[in-house]
Structures are given as structure tokens and as C-alpha cells.
Amino acid sequence: MRRLSIPEDVTGYELDKAVRQELQSLPKTLAEDVAKNLVMVARLLDEDAPRAYEHAKVALRLASRVGAVREAAGFAAYHTGKYQEALAEFRAARRMSGRPDLWPVMADCERGMGRPERALAMAGEPEVQRLDKAGQVEMRLVAAGARRDLGQPDAAVVTLQSPELASASVHPWTARLRYAYADALLEVGREEDAREWFAKAVEADHEGLTDASDRLAELDGIEFTDALDPDSEDAEEDIEGEVEEDAEGSVGSEVGDADFTDEDDPAADEDDSAADEDDSAADEDKPVGDDEPRA
């Protein structure tokens, strides 16, 4: 089995205590290898999902009977768009742990596989009642997404309307819930209401989980340009302006350094006139030689 490179600072003790306890059923050396790969899955999941998936596959080959490993493999597959594989891993993890918290992401896998009607059915099953508040909000988000998948945007708006949405309290899921509601409102043509809820999402999004601020600016007709982006129009105009200024400065310098001709120099003209008068006077005093024709 091919071993993947793991940084030296990864020890395996970065995992939650509950996960480490699950791994205690394995031989010590094997448990350490699995733990390190699980740490890498967590580290890479958001920034490099394909690499996280590779580490998850290694952990899965080493310890496929550990629920935490099956769950990690499920999330790695989910983040790489392998929804069928992810669903299988989540189901296995749920059977092993008995926990209900994977239910919303399992429903979202059904959406990813093109089965939104199945996701809606899961949203109505008793299992949802076992979820905590965060899990129920996630289930509501998945159900609203399924409604939109089915071409039912108005139903999606209604699905998201809830006490959690109306609450002024801010929770880890608040920004995403408000954002989803604003986006659903925009789809049904309620632009003013959508703007209001995008603004509320911005207020709750302290960690930058959404692009609500960009969506709000877009509705307000504000466009942002990157001054450092060479492809932006403003950057091109600035560069053209600098080139023109440099060209004008260069021309001015060349003119300043050029030699004036006598034709352009008034003082030279005066000197030439004086010289001509002296020459004329000299010619009058000069005796006419034999070779000169007489008048």
C-alpha cells in the first residue's frame, strides 16, 4: 500500500478525544498511522479536497471498521463530488455510531446524485426530530435546495421561513440560513427583500462563510476592481496614462537638449546683419582691380 507524505508536526493527538478513543481498538502503531491520516483529512478538506480524499482512502484501508474513519472517508468523498461513495460511507458510519447528525449530509448526497425528491422525503422522516438545532437548520437548508432543484422556488422560500430565521440571535449557522433565504427571495423576484436579508447575512457572517457582501454590493450596483489585476480595465487605463506621461516627458527632454540653428536664434540674426553691413562698407573702400569689370 502506497504511503502518503505526512508533515513531521502531525502527531495524531490533534484529533478529538472521542475519535482517539475509537482508535484504541487498533494496535498502537496502526492506530497512530490512522490518526495521522485522519488529521491530514481534516487539514486538507477545505483547501485541497483531492489530497484529503487520498489520506481518507489510506485510513479506510487500514481501519474500515472504525466509525470515525468511515465518517472521514464520507466527508472526503462528499467534498470531491463522489456523492454515491460518500452516501455509502455515511450510512456505514451511522450504523456503527448510532448518531443521527449525519442525516442532513446524507440527504444532500441524494441531491448530488440527482434525487431531490428523496432528499425531501428524508426531511420529513422522524429521524429529523433527533437532530439538535444546528442539524435541523442543516436539514431545512437541504430541503430548500431540493425544492429549488425541482423547480419550486416559492416552496423553497416557505421552507426556509422558521423561528431560527426570525431570531435576532447569531449562531454558527445563522449567516448561511439568512444567505439561503436571501438567495431564494432573489430567485422569485423579490429583490428588495433579498437585499435586506443579504445585509442581515453580512451582519452575522463574522467568519466570511458566505459571499453575502459581494451579493449585496451587486444588488446596489457597486463594482469592485482589483488595482493589482493587470487584466482589469482600470489598470489598463492607468498603465496607458503612465505611458503617455512618460512619452511627453521624453519629448520635452529631447526638445530641451536639441541645438538651435542660427535661423531660430534672434541673436545670431543680429550678428549676421552686422557682419553683412561691415562687408558692404569694406567693398566700397576697396579699389577696383584690372580684372573687375567696369560699370
For residues 276 and 292, the model is more confident at: 276
Q: Cα–Cα distance between 56 and 42 in angstroms, integer?
A: 10
Q: What percent of the chain has pLDDT over 70?
A: 75
Query: pLDDT digit string (tens) for 210-254?
Result: 999 999 999 988 876 665 666 655 555 554 555 455 555 544 444
Query: What is the reported pTM?
Result: 0.75
The region, left, alpha or beta by phi > 0 then psi within -120 to 50, assigned to residue 37 is alpha
The structural domains of the chain, with segments of one domain joined by +, span 1-97, 100-160, 164-245
| DSSP designation for 100 | S
Distance CA 231, CA 237 (A): 11
CATH number of 1-97: 1.25.40
* Higher-pLDDT residue of 260, 97: 97
Q: Which three cell numbers stand for residue 92?
A: 456505514
